[in-house]
Amino acid sequence: MRIKRRDSSLYRILVASVLLAAGCSSEETAKSPAVPPGQSGPEAAADSKASAENRPRILIIGDSITAGYGLSPDRAYPALLQSRIDSAGYRYEVVNAGLSGETTSGGARRIDWLLRGGADIVVVELGGNDGLRGIPPEVTEENLRSIIALVRERNGDAAVVLGGMRMPMNMGERYRSEFEAVFSKVAAETGVIFIPHILEGVGGVPELNQSDGIHPTAEGQRIIADNVWEYLEPVLEERLDEADAS
């Protein structure tokens, strides 16, 4: 029997969010755990060998939020999603391709390689570092479109889930509004599944972020997992129903 998720509560709307890994140095990147137990790093996503059970893959490409910076790998939201998927009886393998300091440009460069291992569902958690570095919104938009296009080129049946990002007010109102509009625009025009704010209830909340004020605590990661699960579980259910009907 599959376990259904409980109805998600409404998360507070935050003004300052997406305090991602904007200042992550190469040293921080080296320290950051990138995958849940059983994986060896972002490189594992490109491994051509299927898992022992030949389960379909959920590839999560992201930055330090996805990598679970400052935490053990099993506390990052991809690992929490894997536990939830297993408990609910869905046969999917979650691949954590998070990399600290990653931008959408880096993601666009990596995605071809990452897809070599296959992906039936791709979750994109990128863009926060773009915003905090002041990268032009049109560049972020182009990169997100490139990632989505390549996923569909490689596997037209793959579902894509795009996480929306928000910026703190100190980035300037014009830039902030233009940047945040990119994600909903790309989602609407490409038809991907859209999470309006992947850090809803976490970004800008001191007690849910580590001492640097940027990276979520274990509790913050649990909330992110809830945010993603709200949109991911219907995809898993729909695909299960399609398999049952075939």
Which residues have C-beta within 8 Å of that of residue 133, sequence separation ≥ 6?
22, 103
d(CA 51, CA 56): 9
d(CA 32, CA 54): 28
Could you report the per-residue pLDDT of 94-104, keeping only the tens digit for each? 999 999 999 99
- The per-residue pLDDT for 168 is 81
Positions in the chain whose pLDDT score sits under 70: 1-53, 244-246
Phi, psi (rounded to 5 degrees) for 20: -85, -150
Active-site residue list: 64, 212, 215
- The per-residue pLDDT for 49 is 40
151 close to 119: Cβ distance less than 8 angstroms? yes
- The per-residue pLDDT for 54 is 83
Question: What is the length of the chain?
Answer: 246
Walk me through the domains of the chain, giving residue ranges and CATH numbers: 26-245 (3.40.50.1110)
d(CA 203, CA 90): 29
Q: Is the pTM of this model over 0.75?
A: yes
67 close to 32: Cβ distance less than 8 angstroms? yes
